[in-house]
Structure 1
Amino acid sequence: MNLTAIGDLARGLTLRTRATEIKTQIETLSYEMSTGKVQDISERLGGDYSQILDLDRSLARLDAFRTATAEADLFTDVMQQSLTTFGDSVGEITASLLSFGTANHTVTHEQAAVQARNELDTMMSSLNTRVGGRSLFSGIATDVSPLPSSETLLTALEAELTGLTTVTDIRAAAEAWFNDPAGFDAVIYQGSDTPLSSMQISENERITIPITATDPAFKAALRDVAVAALTSDDALALPTDQRTILFAQLGVGLANAQDETVKLRAEVGAAEARVEEAAIRNSAARTSLDYSRNALIEADPYETAAKLQTVQFQLESLYSVTVRNANLSLVNFLR
């Protein structure tokens, strides 16, 4: 019989090498058990990364769209709030002017003018709203506020109305100045004539909200409220009965302007709905892609647990053998 034997040094080296291999397997299986993914992706995919790379590209695009839809959602939400504030102010002054116009009293007229100044300030402030450092109603000039202070507007308009003594002349002059490109748009509006660029919210969908502070609905409301604020001004010198007529007409005009503001809110609301729908679709697509990617590299938890238990037993057995070998000696053999 031929016997093959190895020396003690070789045996020790063999045991240490085997122990290192088993420990490496335990680390690999522990990683896969904790993450649910195989550690050696190349082996799982057979060296073909094309499918997983394509999934990663798609997931990266969806991550970008998730950021875009979040920004678009914030933008449209704040714009809707601004329009609500604007519309509420228009509603308040409209009701006041219509009711004040029926009372031919100087004090009542003065109160209406004061309220109009306050509401005008609120309306212009709402159009100067910013989100993330960007102005909402300045077109592409998002770094500047679209409107100056209400006092600046009243001063410029007062210069156009001074000396006019009839309701017809005052309203015609105000309308002409607000519609003249060299009037409100040039003197008051500080934004860009180019609307804000569209926002891409999915692979094939964009939303555009081309609303600036020069929108006809805004200008009509600002015009009538500004005129109401100046009605009791000494520069106009309107008789009491003419003030009453002017307040009544301005109230009717503002009621129409309020309807146009509601249409703008509906337009922004439709954009909000599209953003929300796109976000839901993108989220569903991302979930599906995540599932497909995980399916390629997932580690079966039950199989991994079984392998881990087996390898741990092997390591324990190896340690037992190592201890027994360490205790072998001629003295122990002769006992």
Structure 2
Amino acid sequence: MTLNSIGDLARGLTLRARSTEIKTQIETLSYEMSTGKTADISGRLSGDYSHLLDLDRKIAQLDAFSTATAEADLFADATQISLETFETSIGEVSASLLAFGTSNQATSHAQASAQARNELDTMISSLNTRVGGRSLFAGTATDASPLQSTDTLLAALRTELAGLTTLTDIRQAAEDWFNDPAGFEAVMYNGSNTTLAPMQISETERVNMQFTANDPKLRDGLRDVALAALATEGALGWPPDLQTALFTDLGVALANTKDDVVTMRAQIGAAQARIEQAETRNAAARTSFEYARNELVAANPYKTAAHLQTVQFQLESLYSVTVRNSTLSLVNFLR
């Protein structure tokens, strides 16, 4: 019978190599236990990464849409709040003009004009709102505040109205100046007439929020409130009965303008609903893709734990054999 044996040095090298191999297995299995992913992705996929790469691409795309929808949601919410403030101011001025301005009393007229001036400040401020460093109502000129100050508006309009003494002439002059590119747009509007591009919120959906402070509906509100603020100025010299007629006309006109702003807010509300729906769909799709990806690369926790326990036992056994071999000697054998 032939006996094969190896020397002590060779045995030591063999034990060391086996120890390194088992430790590597333990590290691999520990990684799989802690991450839940297989360490040998290539082996799991048989070298075909196409499905995995496609899932990674879709997940990355949905991550980008998640950021886009969050920005769109923030922009839409801020726009809605600004238009709500604008609408509230118009409603307040309209109610004031119809309640106080038509009393034909100088004190009531002055009170109505003062309130119109205060609300005009609020309206201009609401249209100059920024969110995330971007102006909401400046079109593509998002770095600019779209409107100049209330004082600038009233000063320019006051010049246009000087010397006019009839309701028809006053209303026509104000309308002409606000519609003239050399008037309101040149003096007051700092934004761009190019509206923002639609915001992409999914692979197939976009939402439009393309209002600017130069929108005719918003200009109408600013025009009529500015007229109410100027109505009682002594420099214009309008008599009480003309002021009363003007306040009555402006009060009714502002009530109609308020309805127009409500329509604008409804459009923003529809965009908000679509953004919310897109967020929900994108989140559901991402969860689905993540699940599919995990199924491709996931390690079985039960098999991994059992294998890890087995390998740990092998390492302990190897250590025991190594210790036992280290104590072997001819002297001890001959005793």
Give me the TM-score of the superposition, normalised by structure 2.
0.98
Aligned residue number for residue 259 of structure 2: 259
- For 1:58 and 1:119, how far apart are their aligned partners in 2? 49
After TM superposition, give the deviation of residue 145 of structure 1 in Å.
Answer: 1.1
* Deviations 1:170-192, CA, capped at 9 Å, x for gaps: 11211121122222122211111
Aligned residue number for residue 189 of structure 1: 189
Aligned 1:304-315 pairs, distance under 5 A: 304-315=304-315
Whether the 8 Å contact between 1:97 and 1:247 is mirrored in structure 2 is: yes
- For 1:241 and 1:178, how far apart are their aligned partners in 2? 25
Aligned 1:92-103 pairs, distance under 5 A: 92-103=92-103
After TM superposition, give the deviation of residue 156 of structure 1 in Å.
Answer: 0.6
Aligned residue number for residue 281 of structure 1: 281
Secondary structure at 2:173's aligned position in 1?
Answer: helix
- For 1:110 and 1:66, how far apart are their aligned partners in 2? 52
Aligned residue number for residue 316 of structure 1: 316
Aligned residue number for residue 154 of structure 1: 154
- For 1:49 and 1:284, how far apart are their aligned partners in 2? 24
Aligned 1:168-179 pairs, distance under 5 A: 168-179=168-179
* Deviations 1:64-88, CA, capped at 9 Å, x for gaps: 1111111101100100010111111
Whether the 8 Å contact between 1:127 and 1:213 is mirrored in structure 2 is: yes
Aligned residue number for residue 332 of structure 2: 332
Aligned 1:195-234 pairs, distance under 5 A: 195-234=195-234
Aligned residue number for residue 240 of structure 2: 240
Q: Which amino acid counterpart does residue 116 of structure 1 have in structure 2?
A: A
* Deviations 1:223-242, CA, capped at 9 Å, x for gaps: 11000000011121011121
Q: Which amino acid counterpart does residue 198 of structure 1 have in structure 2?
A: P
Aligned residue number for residue 109 of structure 2: 109
Calculate the aligned-residue CA RMSD, in Å: 1.0
Q: Which amino acid counterpart does residue 67 of structure 2 have in structure 1?
A: T
Whether the 8 Å contact between 1:37 and 1:299 is mirrored in structure 2 is: yes
- For 1:98 and 1:53, how far apart are their aligned partners in 2? 67
Which one is further off, 318-327 or 103-112?
A: 103-112
Aligned 1:32-43 pairs, distance under 5 A: 32-43=32-43
After TM superposition, give the deviation of residue 42 of structure 1 in Å.
Answer: 1.1
Which one is further off, 207-216 or 80-89?
A: 207-216
After TM superposition, give the deviation of residue 102 of structure 1 in Å.
Answer: 3.1
After TM superposition, give the deviation of residue 108 of structure 1 in Å.
Answer: 1.4
Aligned residue number for residue 25 of structure 1: 25
- For 1:235 and 1:164, how far apart are their aligned partners in 2? 11
* 2:289 aligned with 1:292: no
Which one is further off, 155-164 or 46-55?
A: 46-55
Runs of 5+ unmatched residues, structure 1: none
Q: Which amino acid counterpart does residue 228 of structure 1 have in structure 2?
A: A
- For 1:134 and 1:330, how far apart are their aligned partners in 2? 87
- For 1:166 and 1:102, how far apart are their aligned partners in 2? 17
Runs of 5+ unmatched residues, structure 2: none
* Deviations 1:80-100, CA, capped at 9 Å, x for gaps: 010111111111111111101
- For 1:41 and 1:80, how far apart are their aligned partners in 2? 49
* Deviations 1:196-224, CA, capped at 9 Å, x for gaps: 11111111111112211111211111011
* 2:126 aligned with 1:126: yes
Q: Which amino acid counterpart does residue 88 of structure 2 have in structure 1?
A: D
Whether the 8 Å contact between 1:163 and 1:235 is mirrored in structure 2 is: no
- For 2:328 and 2:101, how far apart are their aligned partners in 1? 115
Secondary structure at 1:145's aligned position in 2?
Answer: coil
Aligned residue number for residue 62 of structure 1: 62
- For 1:148 and 1:182, how far apart are their aligned partners in 2? 15
- For 2:160 and 2:80, how far apart are their aligned partners in 1? 33
- For 1:159 and 1:101, how far apart are their aligned partners in 2? 23
Identical-pair percentage: 68
After TM superposition, give the deviation of residue 106 of structure 1 in Å.
Answer: 0.9
Whether the 8 Å contact between 2:130 and 2:136 is mirrored in structure 1 is: yes
Q: What is the aligned length?
A: 335
Aligned residue number for residue 301 of structure 1: 301
Whether the 8 Å contact between 2:128 and 2:135 is mirrored in structure 1 is: yes
Q: Which amino acid counterpart does residue 15 of structure 1 have in structure 2?
A: L
- For 2:207 and 2:240, how far apart are their aligned partners in 1? 50
Secondary structure at 1:148's aligned position in 2?
Answer: coil
Q: Which amino acid counterpart does residue 119 of structure 2 have in structure 1?
A: E
Give me the TM-score of the superposition, normalised by structure 1.
0.98
- For 1:238 and 1:20, how far apart are their aligned partners in 2? 100
Whether the 8 Å contact between 2:101 and 2:112 is mirrored in structure 1 is: no
- For 1:193 and 1:261, how far apart are their aligned partners in 2? 19
Whether the 8 Å contact between 1:98 and 1:251 is mirrored in structure 2 is: yes
Q: Which amino acid counterpart does residue 246 of structure 1 have in structure 2?
A: L
After TM superposition, give the deviation of residue 279 of structure 1 in Å.
Answer: 1.1
